[in-house]
């Protein structure tokens, strides 16, 4: 039965997402806030489908700590993280690889004003990322970045990339580490989704002022320690 529910969700998710991307493309003729509204409806509907079909709910703790603008440095175990921040934050800007922008329908991702990074672009790509991030931060929006760069298996630690450290040093705004346990319910590249409750914990901010190496060590320690604690309760 669990596999059947996963199949129903996967089909529904694909069809609904395709519909939203199509509608979003049409919405390009309207103000950007219309596209934002469509995206927020998409994220909340997908989370509702997960709860209704699979029995997979979620809880968010500590979001009241956030001040804006800020950087949200999130653990990344599942596709779930790419959905939930649109539901719980106002107009987040994800740091995304260039390949995802190319796959989007009619530049949907660019319409949302995400921060696009060419991972093979060398120094020029880093300068571009920082310039985009400064523009986002100047408008008071939260920046969402996955420090490991890609999804890691539940219970495992990926390699933390220096990109988040460069943002921390350049933008001089608080960084909020985020721990979660989504991978135990919706694993990396997994067909199956399991019932339960995903927990997402926003931890205390790391304020500006540290050197990059010290910041990276503290960020990794905070995320991994809390993620390990959540894993034991999953």
Query: Where along the chain do its domains lie?
Result: 56-232
Least confident of 32-41, 52-61, 88-97: 32-41
Residue 6 has pLDDT above 90, yes or no: yes
pLDDT tens, 148-174?
999 999 989 999 999 999 999 999 999
Architecture of 56-232 per CATH?
3-Layer(aba) Sandwich (3.40)
Q: How confident is the model at residue 143 (pLDDT cuts 50, 70, 90)?
A: very high
What is the spatial distance between Cα 198 and Cα 58, in angstroms, rounded to a whole number?
A: 4
Output the CA torsion sign for 162, 167, 169, 174.
negative
Question: What confidence score (pLDDT) does residue 191 get?
Answer: 92
Q: Are 47 and 59 in contact (CB under 8 A)?
A: no
Q: Are 168 and 218 in contact (CB under 8 A)?
A: no
Q: How confident is the model at residue 61 (pLDDT cuts 50, 70, 90)?
A: very high
Q: Are 166 and 126 in contact (CB under 8 A)?
A: yes
Q: Which of 28-32, 94-98, 150-154, 225-229 has the highest mean pLDDT?
A: 225-229
């Amino acid at each position: 039965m669990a596999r059947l529910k996963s199949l129903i969700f996967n089909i529904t998710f694909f069809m609904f997402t395709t519909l939203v991307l199509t509608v979003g493309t049409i919405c390009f003729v309207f103000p950007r806030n219309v596209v934002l509204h469509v995206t927020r409806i998409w994220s909340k509907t997908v989370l509702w489908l997960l709860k209704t079909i699979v029995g997979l709910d979620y809880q968010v703790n500590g979001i009241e700590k956030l001040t804006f603008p800020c950087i949200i440095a999130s653990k990344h175990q599942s596709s779930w993280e790419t959905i939930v921040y649109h539901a719980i934050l106002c107009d987040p800007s994800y740091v995304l690889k260039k390949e995802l922008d190319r796959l989007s329908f009619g530049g949907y991702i660019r319409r949302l004003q995400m921060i696009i990074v060419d991972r093979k672009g060398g120094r020029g790509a880093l300068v571009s990322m920082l310039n985009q991030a400064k523009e986002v931060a100047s408008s008071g929006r939260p920046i969402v970045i996955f420090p490991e760069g890609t999804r890691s298996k539940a219970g495992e630690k990926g390699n933390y990339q220096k990109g988040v450290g460069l943002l921390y040093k350049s933008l001089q705004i608080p960084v909020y580490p985020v721990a979660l346990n989504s991978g135990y319910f919706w694993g990396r590249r997994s067909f199956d989704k399991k019932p339960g409750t995903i927990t997402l914990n926003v931890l205390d901010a790391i304020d500006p002022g540290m050197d990059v190496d010290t910041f990276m060590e503290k960020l990794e320690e905070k995320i991994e320690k809390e993620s390990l604690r959540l894993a034991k309760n999953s």
